[in-house]
Structure 1
């Protein structure tokens, strides 16, 4: 006589949450402004403005753009503002920082609008592995939001989850 195999995970109240499902589509581009600085270090206003003016920013249409300076140059705020003014009607998103900073901003915007009411008073596992770049900061953001509503928050997979938070009784 064969014993029936019962999938206790499928029959439990356990809910899965996958941050990868909230990945914002679109190409990511990093623009290093050191190319427009004298010797990569000194921002000369007239030269910088000319470089920005002759750059074809339409190449970044519908991109999520991270602006950075790979050198130790001191870049005044107006320079970043000038770049933003060129990208406003072109790029979907513009941030100053790395590609990871860009992902963090994209996830922050998405997570802020997520309705988690279907996780109320339930144990939740936040999926750990993903094929898309999910910044660590996104895990922090979703943990903060989930622990206000879920009975518990875990990380990983149902077969090997790590407890993160359990609501006090």
Structure 2
């Protein structure tokens, strides 16, 4: 009987897995409706006092998206004022949802990543995620990999879809 050889394991194929960079608990959403009267009405004096009394330390070293889950009509300065309280303790604050904050996290991480290990190699951009990696991040990742990789496929080694091949 002939020995089964794992040709994928023996190849120079490299896997780029975006789940390796998933932020987990580092990304949170802050819903400001908690400080609005009945979740809809901003009373400035009370709002400012609630922000002043709030324990902001729960957001220490996090990426925070400020959002409002209700259809409240808010003054333009509302989100900016909350950012004033967050900025000294967070890694980053944006006006947006948790998914938008995850995208920001990936933008920052992928901008700092060293892609030289993928130089002139075939790469698989792993696509079967257990975690919710936003689709936009795959678009960003392939752009970061293209200057380095010889070729890029999407998916798993057993069923990869070719996306890019460097021309000679």
TM over 0.5: yes
RMSD: 2.0
* 1:135 alignment counterpart: 134
Residue 115 of structure 2 corresponds to residue 116 of structure 1:
yes
* 1:75 alignment counterpart: 74
* 1:62 alignment counterpart: 61
Question: 1:41, CA displacement in angstroms?
Answer: 3.3
Q: Secondary structure at the match of 2:50?
A: helix
- Normalised by the length of structure 2, the TM-score is 0.87
Unaligned runs of 5+ in 1: none
> In terms of mean alpha carbon deviation, does 120-129 or 45-54 score higher?
45-54
Runs of 4 or more, structure 1, over 4 Å off, are: none
Paired positions, count: 168
Question: 1:148, CA displacement in angstroms?
Answer: 2.2
- Normalised by the length of structure 1, the TM-score is 0.86
Q: Which structure: greater helix fraction?
A: 2
* 1:44 alignment counterpart: 43
* 1:95 alignment counterpart: 94
Per-residue CA deviation, residues 60-112 of structure 1 (Å, 9 max, x unaligned), is 23333221011233434422221112112333332221111111111100000
